[in-house]
Chain A
Amino acid sequence: MKHNYTDDEIDLLYKKNQSQFIPGNDIWRNIEDSIKVKERSKNFIFIDTCTGFYKNCLSAFPGESVLLLRVAVLFFALSGFIFAGIGYMSFKSGLNSEHQYKSAMKDIKEAEKLYKKAKASLLLLAKEGKGDTVAINSVIENISVIDSAIAEVKAVYEKQPENKELLVFIGTMYYEQTNLLLKTNAMLENMENRTRGGI
């Protein structure tokens, strides 16, 4: 296995496997996890799962001579299910709590702050007359498009406050748009420096 990666290789590796890298302080993780667990809980029928598992175990050992083995399988399966059941119930009740929701809303507020900051720095660039005029106009026009899009999702959420997945979407919107604005800012700064004689 290769260990001595160059910076470029690490960068490429990261891009290829981006979904596997979760940032340490991922602000949407709580919301996303909460929703995923809720989705799973809808489809999870405890008794059916137990019965199915036991039948599968029995079919793996046919014949009367393995009666003891069947009892052993049943015993281990039951004890396993008891532990799993306790864990599942605690997990479910914990994630549905009001605390989880408040935490998600706090994360979104933070994301909104970052977005506004990125937007302000771009608008400042425009105000100072830096960068290409056509590009700056395009950026300003697009900022209003982004704002409208965010407002659109928020309006949908206000109509469907029970749809917590929309919170994830709002968070994703802020994250993606902030990234795009920051990249744009960096590009415009880079071009400005280059125009002024830097390489």
Chain B
Amino acid sequence: MKKIIIVLVCVLYTTLYAQGTIDKEIMSEPGLPVIIKINSGFVEIKGTNDTSVKVTGKIGKNVESLIVEKNSEGIHIRPVIKEKYLKSGKDIECSLYISVPFSTALKIESTSGAIKIFGVNKTLFIQTITGNATIEGVYENVECQTVSGTINIKGSSDFIECSGINGNYVLTGNFPDSILKTSSGFIKLTTDYLNSLTIFSSSGEIDVNCDETVRSAVNIKSVNSKITFGIHNTENILISIKTISGSLITENVVFAETSKEGNRMKYKNGNGESRVFIESITGNIVLKNNKEGVK
């Protein structure tokens, strides 16, 4: 019976639009995620106090329709593209403005379309091939996967994981627990606090700035990246830096204990409770004191 109702609801809410302008509204339900899939163009998502999901915008002439439907998995928004234009990608762009209740979980997949999100505060999953994503807001959990897109986030997230073969990540705000992995993309993380951080990159530049590490476990590894690690509060910290053929440059850093073991330099203040480990096999490493903090 429940399944029949769900199917009926799906049929009821499924709307196929002719090419051109889109204007659609669908009621949301607490806990139901919004799942958006686009190929190219852009999608802008805004969190509101409304209880419905509104979709406006335009679709390219080779997009047959835009499906907006609801089922037990979530609210789905995706274009149906004319078969013969799938490969060429000609005129299949979608320009969509979507408003969702601010506590909606979002799952967005884009091939080359740009993604912009602001004012949503639940979980966020983004998958792009070459599309870039600009995100603002306070999130519980963020996961981004990309091939060569740039992920730019301003705000905060309890936990964030970004991975991509050539993904670039620019995170500004507060990201205490992060996992960032790329092969040749660049990583720029500016955060108030660091609790746990794992960065792995083959050759992309890495720039991490934080006010304070709190009982942290920071682990940054690279083959030949230039790594810059800036910190404001260096109380109770143990920083271990290793490079085999790169240079180590320190700027304005004062530590009570400094020691050298082979290719490894160690800097310690207080009880060394916060652990920072930085390693670049052939790249240069810069350790600096952010005198003014990151704010």
Contacts and interface: CB of A to CB of B under 8 A. Distances in A.
Interface of A: 12, 15-16, 18-19, 42, 131-132, 134-135, 138-139, 141-142, 145-146, 148-150, 152-153, 156, 160, 163, 166, 169, 172-173, 176-177, 179-181, 183-184, 187-188, 190-191, 194-197, 199
B294 interface: no
Given A152-B282, A184-B147, A16 B129 contact: no
Contact of A12 (B147, B159, B244, B282): B159
B179 A145 contact: no
Interface in B198-245: 198, 200, 202-203, 217, 221, 223-224, 244-245
A184 B112 CA distance: 15
A120 B37 CA distance: 28
Nearest to A12: B141
Interface string B95-122: 0000000000000010110000000000
B111 A132 contact: yes
Interface residues of B, number: 46
Contact of B279 (A169, A187, A194): A169
Contact of B184 (A134, A142, A150): A142
Contacts of B174: none
A195 B203 CA distance: 32
A103 B259 CA distance: 32
B224 A152 contact: yes
B184 to A, nearest CB: 5
B181 interface: yes
A180 B164 contact: yes
A194 B109 contact: yes
A191 B217 contact: no
Contacts of A153: 223, 281
B159 A169 contact: no
Contact of B129 (A132, A142, A148): A132
14 contacts: A131-B129, A132-B111, A139-B147, A142-B183, A149-B202, A150-B223, A152-B224, A152-B282, A169-B281, A172-B200, A180-B165, A183-B163, A194-B78, A195-B81
